[in-house]
Amino acid sequence: MTKSVLLVGVGGQGTILASKLLTIGLMESGYDVSMSEIHGMSQRGGSVSSQVRYGDKVYSPVIEKGGADILVSFEKMEALRWLDYLKDNGKIIVNDYQINSMPILNGKAEYKGNEISEELLRVGAKLIDASKSAIELGNPKTMNIILLGSLVKSMNLEHIDWNQIISDNVKKEFVDINIEAFKVGMNLVKGE
């Protein structure tokens, strides 16, 4: 049976790195894994998505609408944009954080953060403040690894040597803080 995880965010949030680490961990656990990524206008704060599919045998890296078992969103609005890709009984993990797009920054649109949060909670999303936790940890850029830790815990994949995977795939000077961020993320959710 193939499972599908969709990770979405905005350019610069580390969505692709988190996806690559997840892919490596799943492969080391013996799964056949396929990953695809879409960058959009990511360098200008555009949407970024990564699709990770795993199982005994994966025939396509593409997640169809209504096909994701888990949706992980690095930003609240992105969660709403990609919600139709989630299965009816799928899990949603969302960073309780907003990034204002140009129309919002220019005053031509309004970011309705409370309404977005209410809608996400209505559909069963687990809102976690990964950005705040990353700031408290001392490096806001670790938010992606905090979300990865939360995802791993929710998928019951703690048996994989994530410390080694992080050590092998991030710059040496950032290994320790990313391992700590991963632990913080695992403590933000319950396994299921």
- The structure tokens listed for 7 are 């990770």
Q: Hey, what CATH class is 3-187 in?
A: alpha beta
The pTM for the full model equals 0.91
pLDDT tens for the chain, residues 1 to 192: 899 999 999 888 889 999 999 999 999 999 999 999 876 654 556 778 999 999 999 999 899 999 999 999 999 989 999 999 999 999 999 999 887 765 566 777 677 778 889 999 999 999 999 999 999 999 999 999 999 999 999 999 999 999 999 999 999 999 999 999 999 999 998 755
Half-sphere CA count of 22, side-chain side, radius 13 A: 34
- Give domain limits for the chain: 3-187
**Alpha-carbon gap, residue 146 to 18, rounded angstroms:** 9
Long-range contacts of 132-136 (CB under 8 A, 24+ apart): 132/96, 133/181, 133/184, 133/185, 133/188, 134/181
